[in-house]
Structure 1
Amino acid sequence: MRLHILGICGTFMGGVAALARELGHTVEGSDANVYPPMSTQLEALGIGLMSGYTAKHLQPGPDHAQPDLVVVGNAMTRGNPAVEYMLDARLRYISGPQWLGETVLAERDVLAVAGTHGKTTTTSLLAHLLEHASREQADLAPGFLVGGVPGNFGVSARLGQGKPFVIEADEYDTAFFDKRSKFVHYHPRIAILNNLEYDHADIFPDVAAIQRQFHHLVRTVPGNGRLIVNAHDERLAEVLAMGCWTPVETFGIDRGDWQATLVEADGSVFTVSHNGEPIGEVRWSLLGNHSVMNALSALAAAAAAGADPQALLPAFATFESVKRRMELVGEVDGVRVYDDFAHHPTAIATTLAGLRAKVGDARILVALEPRSNSMRQGAHAAALAPSLADADAVVFLHRPELSWDAGRVTAALGGRGATAPTVDALIAALRAQARPGDQVIFMSNGGFEAAPRRFVESLRQA
């Protein structure tokens, strides 16, 4: 079958393309801009890429056949020329999540990782743990689809040889014609509910609307499956109170069925127990209580899939996180520079707290871009200043088109905050402050105009 994927360079749709190619389909796709890292991965797989959304990409021509099926990404809207042609020509079409659910996941034991924060890291870690377990239990060799490129695998998706398939289960909507959350299409046997907060202000009016979508996911998990649920999260407890038909195991720091006790305050070393019985100690490179919670949920899910949890503990030491999750991009004259995906106040706060526990009194400088839809709409504005409590200085990228006054945030930082109208100005402001021993973190869920690497280069040129 010939598939054309609209929005192919997004991490999710790029993963769909890779899986379709692995299944033997002829795959091509288009995006507003064909860009790495996904374009590089797809080109290596022999997938044809087209820049822009035009009707001609879907029309037959002398060197181009009409697709048998169009797979539509959730960034597509009515009015898009490719979408309008697809509808007018009555081409067969389907959303990415529905195609995945029907074509790849239907015969697999699906392990879905849901939550406002930590989905990508936890999905990558769970796949890594099952891969480790498959050395002794070959049937656990996982397939996966991750919203990023996990360091241990180097690709965002693969079919895998075993029964499990690990998938990042996003609550964002499916497509312009299907406004349910993506994860309702996955029908997992094991589901991690990592946390639940208000986000995606562009599609959800309040947190109750998100809870309803999470309960839709809960309704799809069978009675012989498992729900792995954050023991600290009251909103998830409210979701389960709406009705639950599946055994639940909880996880937490000194709380829940699966418990972690910190040995090092930064979360780099902790012990694990299950139902009061010691499992062992984890030593790894990740930091922060949020990372410990991700680790517990992944370990519990891997155990529910049939792996020996004690035998999995050494695998944590070899886990390589996803790009842009506290990724060290350079160190120049004692200044360490990180690129991080944090774009929600809770993620910002927990990331900075983990770093603070590691570096002690060293200065932490933050560059923050309000890039997500919720950030740009100001949905998190009131919580931003408190989330930056562990930062010694903050430079907030306040582009002219931002619809709300970032000065409210910087004013609440008590002299620790400043705004910059452009990335160039932001880099200059940081450069003027940085000194040996500083930790500099760039936080955005967008490209940030390559600011972290540009900042490193500016340090080298000083």
Structure 2
Amino acid sequence: MKQYHFIAIGGAVMHNLALALVEKGYRVTGSDDEIYEPSRTRLDRAGILPAELGWFPEKIHSGLDGIILGMHARIDNPELIKAQELGIPVYSFPEFIYNQSQDKKRVVIAGSHGKTSITSMILHVLKANQVDFDYLVGAQIEGFNLMVRLSDAPIIVIEGDEYLTSPIDRTPKFFHYHHDTVLLSGIAWDHFNVFPDFEDYKKQFSQLLDKTPQEGKIIYCQLDPLVVEAAEQSSTLGQKIPYQAHPSRIQDGVTYLKTEFGEIEIPIFGHHNLQNLQGALEICLSLGLSKSQFYGAIQSFKGAAKRQEILAKSESSILYRDFAHAPSKLKATVHAVKNQFPNRRLIAVQELHTYSSLNKNFLPNYANSMDEADLAIIYLNPHAVALKKLELMDEDTLRKGFQRADLRLFTSSDELKAFLLAQDYNQTNLLLMSSGNYDNMDLESLKTKIENT
């Protein structure tokens, strides 16, 4: 029985990988200095929740087959140092995924936006068509217990993140998967704390495409000029397949795909999602599925968690929650909801939560990103700002950055909640966007209000 130890086991992907290895029959241990829900409960149920929080070098021994190192750990982590002293192999999770999938066909979904949605669509269609596959995806998906699966399946579909690999490897994660096929959805500046220079950020995607093998494929969004430039200039001899948004129409708040088999109603919407869907279709075709198999399955795809997720609805109002946080994601999501319901008032709330979004120097990238909202609101958590050692921006600074004079700012989740509850939601949609949780704001009363509108 193989045995692996996780340093920083509590992370979203890390704990899912740990659970996947338990399912595979491996022995798993781990440590972390903080473990939150749902990681804590899921690790406990599997019998691998650390007995104590903290780092314990005595857990590291020569009988381990390897260490899996999470990004949350520091370079001077005592367990990491002990492992290095003993010469135990240390893997980042992307390196370990490759280690477990070297004999598989590896499909990587990359880009500044749309990765999770595209990967989720592909997984949904493959499962519906009873294809055997492994996967790594960055969100919980309906119908899948884990965000990771490792088995003897012949293919693996991987959401490829450009963020740093580990404390001891400062290169993007997606370099380590050694893809056979790669999809590039879009390039828009993100991770300002890691890539403060936009040219350097763009270069990471170009280098990824250049790693495509001669018998491999690049599937890329033709509507993004930066993606087109990277794909067309790539040195790879692999096949290059462009895609655009899937043809569609909207009627009464419902999107219909225009296909050779007739019109097909789908639950998701928005121009970016239609691009994502077309990209997912191209990947599925490359894996041997037919168009009819894809369309038959995509009708029941409801989206990944926190991606245009409907929390409550009535005949005249919908409450959406979305993960959007980067400027391009924010603009695309606001446009999608307004375009889907042009006759409804749109209240859009954005929590600035990431290092990039809270950085005053990055703020101009958000210019005009909330223009289509009828009421635009920003929420800042002073505690989150202080933890990142940044300056708490005021309303005037935000209005100039977003280029919207009527932008409202809230720094108290209680005050924000009271304001939202005081609104009239007749013929009005509410869109909550964040990679955080508005300082744990309880949404039940908002759901009730909208359901009773």
In the superposition, the TM-score normalised over structure 2's length comes to 0.88
Contact 2:108 2:182 in 1 (8 A): yes
Q: Distance in 2 between matches of 1:447 and 1:29?
A: 27
Q: Distance in 1 between matches of 2:377 and 2:109?
A: 33
Structure 2 counterpart of 1:239, from 212, 230, 245: 230
Q: Once the two structures are superposed, what CA deviation does each residue of 1:280-315 show, in whole Å capped at 9, x if it has no partner?
A: 644211110110011011110110111112321011
**Pairing of 1:21-170 with structure 2 (within 5 A):** 21-49=22-50, 52-55=53-56, 58=59, 67-84=64-81, 86-87=83-84, 91-102=88-99, 104-134=100-130, 140-159=131-150, 162-170=153-161
Q: Which consecutive unaligned segments of at least 5 residues does structure 2 have?
A: none
Instruction: Measure how far apart 1:19 and its partner are.
Output: 2.9
Amino acid at match of 2:391: S
Contact 1:370 1:397 in 2 (8 A): yes
Instruction: Measure how far apart 1:66 and its partner are.
Output: 7.5
Amino acid at match of 1:190: T
Contact 1:368 1:443 in 2 (8 A): yes
The answer to whether the aligner puts 1:13 opposite 2:4 as a matched pair is: no
Helix, strand or coil at the partner of 2:312? strand
Contact 1:202 1:374 in 2 (8 A): yes
Residue aligning to 1:294: 276
Structure 1 counterpart of 2:258, from 252, 271, 289: 271
Residue aligning to 1:382: 364
Q: Distance in 1 between matches of 2:152 and 2:424?
A: 49
Residues 1:387 and 1:263: Cα distance change in structure 2 (over 3 Å): same
Q: Once the two structures are superposed, what CA deviation does each residue of 1:303-332 show, in whole Å capped at 9, x if it has no partner?
A: 011111232101111113211112122347
Residue aligning to 1:252: 244
Q: Distance in 1 between matches of 2:52 and 2:399?
A: 39
Residues 1:382 and 1:251: Cα distance change in structure 2 (over 3 Å): same
In the superposition, the TM-score normalised over structure 1's length comes to 0.87
Residue aligning to 1:257: none
Residues 1:379 and 1:87: Cα distance change in structure 2 (over 3 Å): farther
Amino acid at match of 2:121: L
Q: Distance in 2 between matches of 1:453 and 1:158?
A: 32
Instruction: Measure how far apart 1:197 and its partner are.
Output: 1.2
Q: Distance in 2 between matches of 1:317 and 1:333?
A: 22
Q: Once the two structures are superposed, what CA deviation does each residue of 1:187-217 show, in whole Å capped at 9, x if it has no partner?
A: 1111111111111111113222223222332
Contact 2:349 2:376 in 1 (8 A): yes
Q: Distance in 2 between matches of 1:92 and 1:320?
A: 40
Residue aligning to 2:391: 403
Q: Distance in 1 between matches of 2:49 and 2:297?
A: 36
Amino acid at match of 1:410: R
Amino acid at match of 1:374: S
Residues 1:204 and 1:289: Cα distance change in structure 2 (over 3 Å): same
Residues 1:311 and 1:32: Cα distance change in structure 2 (over 3 Å): same
**Pairing of 1:361-440 with structure 2 (within 5 A):** 361-378=343-360, 380-400=362-382, 401=386, 402-403=390-391, 405-407=393-395, 408-410=397-399, 414=404, 416-440=406-430
Q: Distance in 2 between matches of 1:185 and 1:12?
A: 16
Amino acid at match of 2:28: V
Residues 1:50 and 1:181: Cα distance change in structure 2 (over 3 Å): farther
Q: Once the two structures are superposed, what CA deviation does each residue of 1:159-195 show, in whole Å capped at 9, x if it has no partner?
A: 3563121110011111111111111111111111111
Q: Once the two structures are superposed, what CA deviation does each residue of 1:400-446 show, in whole Å capped at 9, x if it has no partner?
A: 33525252223656554211112122212222334333211221112
Q: Distance in 2 between matches of 1:426 and 1:68?
A: 50
Range moving further from structure 2, 451-460 or 10-19: 451-460
Helix, strand or coil at the partner of 2:347? strand
Amino acid at match of 1:170: D
Q: Distance in 1 between matches of 2:36 and 2:291?
A: 39
CA RMSD of aligned residues (A): 2.8
Contact 2:266 2:301 in 1 (8 A): yes
Amino acid at match of 1:248: K
Structure 1 counterpart of 2:248, from 249, 262, 282: 262
Would you say how many aligned residue pairs link Structure 1 and Structure 2? 441
Helix, strand or coil at the partner of 1:318? coil
Helix, strand or coil at the partner of 2:357? helix
Residue aligning to 1:256: none
Amino acid at match of 1:264: I
The answer to whether the aligner puts 1:174 opposite 2:162 as a matched pair is: no
Residues 1:219 and 1:452: Cα distance change in structure 2 (over 3 Å): farther
Contact 1:55 1:85 in 2 (8 A): no
Contact 2:322 2:431 in 1 (8 A): yes
Q: Which consecutive unaligned segments of at least 5 residues does structure 1 have?
A: 135-139, 254-259, 273-277
